[in-house]
């Protein structure tokens, strides 16, 4: 009986190692991608306009942002996520755009906007970044469901202090809303709350840089394959001497 248990040891060990090292990470990390200065917004009477922590993640189909603010977001909250895919394209002027006034200090190609009771997608690279002149790729979703016309989602948590915004990669709804970002691309981002109440990162600071990742890292799998013969020999020697002790 003891000998049978010992024979199972190598299999159990390999299963435990593979389960530990080969399981891909799920969801946002505990550590934020970016932490903004606390209570640095202009409108001190509205703590929800103070962007504090930002997480960025992605899977095979969506780019995802999680934002924690200093107060509970409500129907008056306007939160814009500005995304740059190319330093040479886009717009740095958001005046009159989506009720979030004030210039940007970098060129943004797209904006995901949470504006009170609706969620909007804007293509800033088509030259129509005015609230009243929508481009052919823009989407305004006034359904109150915060789905960006079926291309995304919005989830509130922690007493509405935290909001998660997800948007589909390279997908369209009625030939609109195309976010030209794919796995492997590197994007730059800045967030802005109501007019110029708060930027994250602040004006004059470099944008957040994020690279969309694909399949989980298989380094440990390859390492285990290489070490498998060594592990086998070591376990064989162990079992040999263990068997001699039993006899």
pLDDT per residue as tens, the chain (247 positions): 455 444 544 444 444 444 444 444 457 888 999 998 876 665 666 666 789 999 999 999 999 999 998 888 876 778 899 999 999 888 876 544 443 455 788 889 999 998 877 888 988 876 555 555 677 888 888 777 789 999 999 999 998 899 999 999 999 998 899 999 999 999 999 998 876 678 899 888 999 999 999 865 545 546 656 765 666 666 667 665 666 665 5
pLDDT for residue 31: 93
Q: Are strands 186-193 and 62-69 parallel, antiparallel or unpaired?
A: unpaired
Question: What's the maximum distance between 2 C-alpha atoms anywhere in the chain?
Answer: 88
pTM equals: 0.73
Q: How far apart are CA 150 and CA 152, in angstroms?
A: 6
DSSP state of 25: P
Radius of gyration of the chain (CA): 25
Instruction: For residue 182, count other CB atoms closer than 10 A to its CB.
Output: 14
pLDDT for residue 189: 95
């Amino acid at each position: 009986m003891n000998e049978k248990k010992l024979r199972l040891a190598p299999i159990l060990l390999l299963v435990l190692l593979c389960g530990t090292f080969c399981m891909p990470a799920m969801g946002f990390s505990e550590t934020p991608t970016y932490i903004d200065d606390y209570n640095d917004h202009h409108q001190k009477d509205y703590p929800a306009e103070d962007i504090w922590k930002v997480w960025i993640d992605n899977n095979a189909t969506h780019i995802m942002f999680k934002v924690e603010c200093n107060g509970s977001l409500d129907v008056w909250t306007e939160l814009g996520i500005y995304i740059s895919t190319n330093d040479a394209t886009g717009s740095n002027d958001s005046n009159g755009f989506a009720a979030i006034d004030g210039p940007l200090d970098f060129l943004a190609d797209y904006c995901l906007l949470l504006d009170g009771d609706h969620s909007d997608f804007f293509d800033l690279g088509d030259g129509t970044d005015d609230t009243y002149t929508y481009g052919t790729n823009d989407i305004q979703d006034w359904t109150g469901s915060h789905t960006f016309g079926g291309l995304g989602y919005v989830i509130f948590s922690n007493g509405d202090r935290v909001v998660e915004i997800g948007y589909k990669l390279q997908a369209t709804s009625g030939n609109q809303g195309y976010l030209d970002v794919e796995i492997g691309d590197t994007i730059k981002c800045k967030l802005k709350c109501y007019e110029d109440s708060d930027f994250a990162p602040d004006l004059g600071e470099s944008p957040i840089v994020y690279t969309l990742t694909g399949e989980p890292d298989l380094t440990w799998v390859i390492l285990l394959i290489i070490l498998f013969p060594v592990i086998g020999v070591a376990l064989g020697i162990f079992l040999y001497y263990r068997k001699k002790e039993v006899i």
